[in-house]
């Protein structure tokens, strides 16, 4: 651990082992003191903090090795000029997120850092910057605000508004499904955020509980524009054609098929699937692997949410079912229509836009049934007419025979 600026690595290591409960602050401080005394004695082979903690049986070498990736991530965030990193608040496959202080304005922000393993991957880098640029063009109280995006050394970073609170997913994990009234309010605020994004020409493409944050003041914030794309970006659309971008539990059928011309209706589907999960406690479609789940989005009928949670109103069920129609033409024709229905159901009124979609769908079904019925009646009439023909000929034949017999009798009488 002595290579590559050991003091920087030692500082990060010391903080991590205390945070993880692998050592106490006092134990780390004792090793730091040993390290200082060793340097004062001009030791030709100075020990790193990690070496000293292993020598003192505080942690093992294997534990240090497992911490190396996180140490590298932490060190990279400390190289971002103008920001003081305070703590790591999250990590995923695509990024590490830290809480930091923006020194120029003395405010708390969140910094998302692209992992080092992706620093030479042009696809991941392009998507990372696309998220920052998309978010920067949106200014809405229900969207996490972008502040800065850039590169420091080999570190790609995206600075955004710090949201103190929890995600919808975290809330459900700890407390179970939402009450209908609360879920409607969150969905309404997300719909308003989407309406703003759609009006600016962007689609999110990854609406899900983990990307919806609720502040301590109860304000909903739509986050993670990592898959956001301008609808007009034909080049990006063609490059992505045939690929399923999105999260399997909430992805729309047209995204699964990798269609070229996806639009705002993929977000309506994602919000419908998210709202379904919020009020039932279950994802709309489940399965042992993503392929099975996505196949169900394409082919399986949706179990109505009020069949799972019988306390739900008819109205919210109608909204969800229209939002999650497999045929995007049968979904809401604008985000404003969805907002209108969410507001109506929140007031205890019927969702008129959803019912209009149901009526149109029922009408087309009725038309097909009417045509089928008329065809059936015509067929039955034809069958009746055909079945009547033999009887008619038999009657005529009978009359002819009777006439001949009468003629014969008359002739014999003469």
Q: Which residues are catalytic?
A: 206
Instruction: Give the torsion sign (CA, 83, 84, 86, 91).
Output: positive
Classify residue 84 by burial, with Cβ atoms within 10 Å: 0-12, 13-18, 19+: exposed
Contact call for residues 260 and 304 (beta carbons, < 8 A): no
H or E segment and range at residue 234: helix 234-240
State the DSSP string of 279-329. Answer: HHSS-SS--SSHHHHHHHHHHSPPPPHHHH-TTS-HHHHHHHHHHT-SSGG
Non-local (6+) Cβ contacts of 363 within 8 A are: none
Contact call for residues 100 and 90 (beta carbons, < 8 A): no
Measured CA to CA, the distance from residue 9 to residue 202 in angstroms comes to: 41
* Nearest one of 193, 268, 201 to 224, comparing CA atoms: 193
* Nearest one of 138, 190, 140 to 335, comparing CA atoms: 190
Non-local (6+) Cβ contacts of 297 within 8 A are: 248, 251, 252, 253, 256, 284, 285, 326
Rg (CA), the chain: 35
Contact call for residues 102 and 40 (beta carbons, < 8 A): no
H or E segment and range at residue 8: helix 6-19
Question: Coil, helix or strand for 402?
Answer: helix
């Amino acid at each position: 651990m002595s290579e590559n600026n050991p003091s920087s690595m030692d500082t990060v290591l010391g903080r991590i082992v205390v945070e993880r409960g692998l050592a106490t602050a006092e134990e780390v401080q004792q090793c730091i003191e040993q390290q200082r005394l060793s340097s004062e004695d001009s030791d030709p082979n100075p020990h790193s903090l990690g070496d000293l903690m292993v020598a003192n049986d505080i942690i093992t070498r294997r534990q240090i090795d497992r911490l190396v990736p996180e140490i590298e991530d932490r060190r990279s965030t400390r190289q971002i000029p103008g920001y003081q990193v305070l703590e790591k608040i999250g990590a995923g496959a695509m990024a590490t997120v830290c809480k930091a202080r923006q020194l120029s304005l003395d405010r708390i922000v969140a910094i998302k850092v692209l992992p080092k393993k992706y620093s030479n991957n042009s696809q991941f880098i392009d998507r990372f910057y696309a998220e920052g640029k998309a978010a920067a063009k949106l200014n809405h109280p229900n969207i996490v605000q972008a502040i800065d995006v850039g590169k420091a050394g080999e570190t790609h970073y995206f600075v955004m508004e710090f949201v103190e609170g929890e995600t919808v997913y975290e809330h459900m994990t700890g407390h179970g499904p939402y009450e209908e009234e609360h879920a409607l309010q969150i969905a309404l605020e997300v719909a308003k955020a989407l309406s703003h994004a759609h009006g600016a020409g962007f689609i999110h493409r990854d609406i899900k509980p983990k990307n919806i944050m609720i502040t301590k003041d109860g304000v909903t914030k739509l986050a993670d524009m990592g898959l956001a794309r301008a609808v007009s970006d034909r080049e990006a659309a063609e490059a992505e054609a045939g690929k399923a971008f999105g999260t399997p539990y909430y992805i729309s059928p047209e995204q699964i098929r990798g269609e070229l011309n996806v639009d705002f209706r993929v977000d309506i589907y994602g919000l419908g699937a998210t709202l379904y999960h919020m009020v039932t406690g279950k994802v709309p479609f489940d399965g042992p692997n993503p392929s099975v789940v996505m196949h169900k989005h394409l082919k399986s009928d949706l179990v109505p949410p009020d069949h799972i949670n019988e306390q739900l109103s008819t109205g919210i069920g109608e909204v969800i079912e229209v939002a999650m129609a497999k045929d995007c033409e049968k979904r809401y024709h604008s985000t404003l229509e969805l907002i209108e229905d969410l507001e109506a159901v929140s007031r205890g009124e019927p969702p008129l836009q959803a019912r209009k979609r149901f009526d149109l769908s029922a009408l087309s079904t009725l038309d097909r049934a009417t045509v089928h019925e008329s065809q059936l009646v015509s067929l039955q009439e034809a069958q009746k007419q055909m079945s009547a023909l033999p009887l008619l000929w038999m009657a005529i034949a009978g009359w002819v025979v009777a006439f001949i017999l009468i003629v014969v009798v008359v002739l014999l009488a003469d």
